């Protein structure tokens, strides 16, 4: 049995609470200690602690940050507060991303030395997964924030991907140091100073390659990258399906290839990585896709648990103490 306790926002998600509860039960059966947070939850096995939360913030709430501040009994706020109170080590929500981000920053709280917590996503590119940070928490940033993201992403890659010296690149529009927008150009020397294995500017085309382990950018560009990959992946899958079903002969041939193709699709699926990690807060905080089904929730809770056990929060805290001393 894992020693990590994960608080689950049962109120957040397109398929909440049913799929969230089902996923939490599967994770519990896998040996993960789960606390389910939400209003009027039923059918929960006795081994799972239920924490009542009277309120739920809707997926399409127009001002989720404000909602989190004013509705402290919302399921995402209560679940996040369990981490602050030491009753849980991690929190998972598949609800409104804005609400989960705000709850992470406000309720879990920032680690000393972190100006801006940021979202890290592991892009599952075969043998060379890449961490993208910030994937959408901070739409407008200053150059020094990118240096902070580089530190967070670097520690994350060490702890969660097991890399010794993760190569950190700054997303830009040309490889030479002078290329980029003002933000990237000003951030370049700051990122260089902040992490030991800086490989300089990288471009969008480098993301799926083995050139770089951590790609640092602002939350606007990062979110654009993430969603562009998502959309292009869906488009291509659809086009491939067209080729595979064009004739009887093609259908027959596609059947032979299907196991390999499904395996490829599985490794590239966002569900396989369990969601985005809000880094820089005093607990493991994972935000799942709104569409998360039970299996995606189970995966995310497994990753939440292993991230706690790997000691991510302690590692970030220690790294920032060092950076401050310098």
What is residue 110's DSSP assignment?
B
Q: Does 193 bind a copy of itself (CB under 8 A)?
A: no
- The answer to whether the bond into 133 is cis (omega within 30° of 0) is no
179's CB contacts (< 8 A; 6+ apart) are 172, 173, 185, 201
92, 6 contact by CB (below 8 A)? yes
Please list every residue from 269 through 308 that binds a copy of itself, using CB under 8 A. none
Among 3, 42, 46, 62, binds a copy of itself (CB under 8 A): 62
Stretch that binds a copy of itself, among 38-46, 99-107, 234-242, 311-319 (CB under 8 A): 234-242
Distances (CA, A) of 96 to 4, 9, 259, 293: 24, 11, 34, 15
Stretch that binds a copy of itself, among 16-24, 188-196, 227-235, 295-303 (CB under 8 A): 227-235
Binding mask of the shown chain, residues 105 to 144, with x at each position contacting a copy of itself by CB under 8 A: --------------------xx---------x--xx----
CB of 182 to a copy of itself, least distance (A): 5
- Count interface residues toward a copy of itself (CB under 8 A): 58
177's CB contacts (< 8 A; 6+ apart) are 185, 188, 200, 201
8-306-285-154 Cα dihedral, nearest 10 degrees: -170
Among 78, 184, 297, 312, binds a copy of itself (CB under 8 A): 184
Binding mask of the shown chain, residues 70 to 109, with x at each position contacting a copy of itself by CB under 8 A: ----------------------------------------
Give φ, ψ of 217 to 5 degrees: -160, 175
Stretch that binds a copy of itself, among 106-114, 254-262, 283-291, 309-317 (CB under 8 A): 254-262
53, 247 contact by CB (below 8 A)? no
Stretch that binds a copy of itself, among 26-34, 106-114, 257-265, 318-326 (CB under 8 A): 257-265
Decide: helix, strand or coil at residue 179.
coil
CB of 209 to a copy of itself, least distance (A): 7
DSSP 3-state percent helix, strand, coil across the chain (nearest 5): 50, 15, 35
Place of tokens 């060490």: 158
Stretch that binds a copy of itself, among 100-108, 110-118, 142-150, 167-175 (CB under 8 A): 167-175
How do strand 5-9 and strand 90-93 relate by DSSP bridges? parallel
Stretch that binds a copy of itself, among 2-10, 20-28, 146-154, 226-234 (CB under 8 A): 226-234
Among 43, 162, 164, 205, binds a copy of itself (CB under 8 A): 205
106, 68 contact by CB (below 8 A)? yes
Q: Which of 313, 321, 326 is nearest to 155 (CA)?
A: 313
- Helix (H) or strand (E) run with residue 260 in it: helix 248-268
CB of 301 to a copy of itself, least distance (A): 26
Q: Name the residues that contact a copy of itself, by CB under 8 A.
A: 62, 125-126, 136, 139-140, 171-173, 176, 178, 180-182, 184, 203-209, 217-221, 223-236, 239-240, 242-244, 246, 249-250, 252-254, 256-257, 260-261, 263-264
């Amino acid at each position: 049995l894992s020693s990590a306790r994960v608080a689950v926002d049962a109120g957040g998600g397109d398929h909440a609470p049913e799929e969230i509860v089902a996923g939490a039960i599967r994770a519990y059966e896998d040996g993960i200690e789960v606390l389910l947070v939400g209003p009027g939850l039923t059918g929960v096995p006795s081994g799972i602690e239920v924490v009542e939360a009277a309120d739920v913030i809707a997926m399409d709430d127009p001002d989720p940050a404000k909602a989190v501040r004013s509705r402290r009994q919302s399921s995402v706020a209560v679940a996040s507060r369990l981490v602050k109170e030491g009753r849980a080590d991690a929190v998972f929500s598949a609800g409104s991303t804005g609400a989960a981000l705000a709850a992470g920053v406000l309720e879990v709280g920032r680690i000393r030395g972190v100006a801006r917590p940021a979202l890290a996503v592991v892009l599952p590119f075969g043998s060379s997964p890449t961490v993208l940070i910030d994937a959408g928490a901070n739409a407008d940033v200053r150059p020094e924030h990118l240096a902070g993201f580089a530190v967070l992403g670097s520690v994350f890659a060490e702890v969660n991907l097991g890399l010794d010296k993760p190569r950190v690149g700054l997303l830009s529009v040309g490889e030479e140091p002078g290329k980029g927008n003002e933000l990237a150009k000003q951030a370049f020397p700051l990122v260089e100073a902040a992490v030991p294995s800086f490989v300089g500017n990288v471009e969008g085309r480098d993301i799926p390659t083995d050139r770089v382990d951590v790609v640092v950018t602002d939350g606007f560009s990062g979110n654009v990258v993430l969603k562009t990959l998502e959309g292009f992946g869906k488009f291509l899958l659809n086009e491939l399906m067209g080729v595979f079903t064009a004739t009887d002969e093609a259908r027959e041939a596609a059947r032979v290839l299907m196991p390999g193709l499904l395996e490829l699709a599985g490794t590239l699926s966002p569900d396989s990585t369990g969601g985005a990690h809000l880094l820089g807060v005093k607990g493991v905080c994972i935000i799942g896709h709104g569409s998360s089904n039970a299996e995606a929730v189970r995966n995310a809770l497994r990753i939440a648990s292993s991230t706690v056990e790997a000691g991510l929060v302690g590692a970030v805290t220690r790294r920032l103490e060092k950076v401050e001393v310098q």
